[in-house]
Amino acid sequence: MRTLRHVLYYPSRSDRITLYNLTDLHIGAAACNEKLFLQKVEEIAATPHTYWVGGGDYVDAIARVGDKRYHELTIAPWLYGKNDVMGHQRDRFLEMVEPIADKCLGLVSGNHEFAAERWYDRDLYWEIVTGVARQAKRDPGELALGVGGFLVLRFRRGTPQSYGGSKTITIFITHGWGGGRLPGGHALTLGRTMGDYAADLILMGHRHVQQLVIKTITVPSGSTAKVTRRYGVYCGTYLGAYVRPSDGRPVDTYPEHKGLPPSPVGTPTILVKPDQASIQVLVGG
């Protein structure tokens, strides 16, 4: 498990840092909402003091040959007739995030990237990490977290040449695990993870839901005590539950086969007031 550390500068006490966990994109699936994802990319690129982390399952990574999950009608039409499906999905993802590569704080691996390595001996995760790092003109080791790890963000008011106050928040990010239909199961997993990892903010994906759990912790403070908060967030998906047929023939997706309910598409907005290291999470974005 790795820990990445970043120093972020901001000019004013009133400024806020915005953070997005872009997870479960599934680029290359027919149900992927590429339009909405590109809107989020444009927002991140255009908005000062806005950063992102990658939560895994960046591409669908279901190959045409030898994969029992493959179904031609559930892949994006731009893949029709092309070999090396995973390679084209990787290239499209990298093209889409290039405008915000320099705002990336870290990348974790998802189960779809792991499946590509396990079944096809292809380290698709590392291909993505090295691609984003090349776009950002950084070393891949500055972004790679593997299946999960810590981000320590230090906020400094001012510039690298002259700065005042300094506050720190610690984030644990992992793609996530498990599943289920009921929100109680998601909350229980978040609650356990918030107890297992010492972090102000826990970011998870995999379950294709958005959910926030807040845990209050009592800590010593001088000769008395105070309470602090930990935030656990399931960060959604950009994969829709349904595919609109073009000729009247039904296109049945994995969620439909499993009887899973549709999930809101998008990702929560995480706002940090750096002068106080306070966190606010807006679910439903």
The answer to whether the CB of 110 falls within 8 A of the CB of 23 is: yes
Average pLDDT, the chain: 91
Q: 48-63, pLDDT tens digit by residue? A: 999 999 999 999 998 7
Total number of domains constituting the chain: 1
pLDDT average, residue stretch 37-56: 97
Number of Cβ within 10 Å of residue 141's Cβ equals 10
Q: Work out the percent of the chain whose per-residue pLDDT is above 70.
A: 98
Give pLDDT, residue 103.
98
Give pLDDT, residue 258.
67
The answer to whether the CB of 128 falls within 8 A of the CB of 94 is: yes
Is 90 exceeded by the pLDDT of residue 250? no
If you count them, how many residues does the chain have? 285
pLDDT average, residue stretch 19-38: 96
Q: Work out the percent of the chain whose per-residue pLDDT is above 90.
A: 69
Q: Is the pTM of this model over 0.85?
A: yes
Residue 174 is part of a domain; what is its CATH number? 3.60.21
Q: 218-249, pLDDT tens digit by residue? A: 989 999 998 889 999 999 999 987 777 777 77
3-state DSSP of the chain: CEEEEEEEEECCCCCCEEEEEECCCCECECCECHHHHHHHHHHHHHCCCEEEEECCCCECCCCCCCCCCCCHHHECHHHCCCCCHHHHHHHHHHHHHHHHHHHEEEEECCHHHHHHHHHHCCCHHHHHHHHHHHHHCCCHHHCEEECEEEEEEEEEEECCCCEEEEEEEEEEEECCCCCCCCHHHHHHHHHHHHHHCCCCEEEECCCCCEEEEEEEEEEEECCEEEEEEEEEEEECECECCCCCCCCCCCCCCHHHHHCCCCCCEECCEEEEECCCCEEEEECCC
How far apart are the C-alpha atoms of 273 and 157, rounded to whole Å? 11
- Per the structure, the complete domain to which residue 277 belongs is given by 2-282
